[in-house]
Amino acid sequence: MSSLGHLQTGNPAFTMGGTVFDEWARQDVRGTTMTVAGTASKALVFLAICLAGAAYAWREVAMGPSFGGLVMGASIAGLVLALVTVFMPKWAWLTGSLYSAAQGVALGAISRLIDARYPGIALQAVGLTFATTLAMLMLYTTRVVRVTPGFQRFVIAATGALLLVYVLSFVLRLFGVPMPYLHDASPLGLLVSAVAIGLAAMNLLLDFDYIEGQSERGAPKYLEWYAAFGLMVTLVWLYIEILRLLSKLQERR
């Protein structure tokens, strides 16, 4: 069973808005409450929107001078919408939908670009993302893997460390100093990608535990949309890391 005391997760959508699920406890909330099934159905809605956006970008976006601008614009829009959702959780049904659409467009365009170089890689990444998610869900529901406080602390710390490395890499690249092992197909680069995928998968376990715990606490119904949005953040990250690893493996052939 999930701990009902201090629930933790490495997902920034939950940690940045750390009081979102606690504020309701100090309010006079009446009506239906959050459920795992309700959250799952809303996550499927966001996933469908994301896939629709990706399909549109895959079919309609032309490879040309405007391609990079589209990807950058959609990515920035997704980041802005994610921040808005964190600070306006009651509007997650709308901002989460727009976030999913923006991320879908960005991922669809990026996937098409990479798939043009390595045919079939995007479909492989999608399949592996779904397979990993289902595997983590099975491990969680059967309690083969238990989300203990120690496990939570490890995943959160490791995720934070990886995020710092990514931020440092971005800052250094602005000054013309590359960190090649993050992006190349060297053994170390492959290891970094494998670790990132592992952390994303473990964050899914923390997300499942967080959602189950808040449902048991009787969180209000509208937080199902917010929880579904948080799950989408992890799924997008997982897909990107899997696509990155597959690309590196193709480069080594």
Q: What is the pLDDT of residues 51-86, one digit of tens each?
A: 999 999 988 776 666 677 788 999 999 999 999 999
In a domain, 25, yes or no: no
Greater model confidence, 240 or 167: 240
What angle (nearest 5°) sits at the alpha carbon of residue 38, between those of residues 37 and 41? 85
Structure tokens at 194: 């494998």
CA 239 to chain CA centroid, Å, is 8
CB 117 within 8 A of CB 67: no
Helices (H), ranges, 66-120: 67-87, 92-117
User: Is residue 155 pLDDT above 60, yes or no?
Assistant: yes
Q: What is the mean pLDDT of residues 14-22?
A: 55
Judged by phi (left if over 0) then psi (alpha if -120 to 50, else beta), residue 177 lies in beta
Residues contacting residue 80 through CB under 8 Å, at least 6 positions apart: none
Q: Can you give the pLDDT at residue 172?
A: 84
User: Is residue 113 pLDDT above 80, yes or no?
Assistant: yes
Greater model confidence, 163 or 24: 163
Q: Can you give the pLDDT at residue 179?
A: 76
Name the residue among 222, 199, 202, 223 with its Cα closest to residue 211. 223
Strand, helix or coil for residue 220: strand
Q: How many domains does the chain have?
A: 1
Distance, CA of 102 to CA of 79 (rounded, Å): 9
Distance, CA of 158 to CA of 53 (rounded, Å): 31
Whole-number mean pLDDT of the chain? 87
CB 107 within 8 A of CB 54: yes
Strand partners, 33: 220
Strand, helix or coil for residue 246: helix
In a domain, 94, yes or no: yes
In a domain, 49, yes or no: yes
Q: Which domain holds residue 67?
A: 30-251
Q: What is the pLDDT of residues 180-236, one digit of tens each?
A: 777 788 888 899 999 999 999 999 999 999 999 999 998 999 999 999 999 999 999
Strand, helix or coil for residue 165: helix
In a domain, 192, yes or no: yes
CA 195 to chain CA centroid, Å, is 15
Greater model confidence, 183 or 50: 50
Q: What is the mean pLDDT of residues 1-21?
A: 53
pTM for this prediction: 0.86
Greater model confidence, 14 or 76: 76
Q: Can you give the pLDDT at residue 62?
A: 61
* H/E stretch holding 201: helix 187-217
Name the residue among 26, 107, 1, 109 with its Cα closest to residue 64. 109
Q: Can you give the pLDDT at residue 82?
A: 96
In a domain, 15, yes or no: no
In a domain, 61, yes or no: yes
Strand partners, 220: 33
In a domain, 219, yes or no: yes
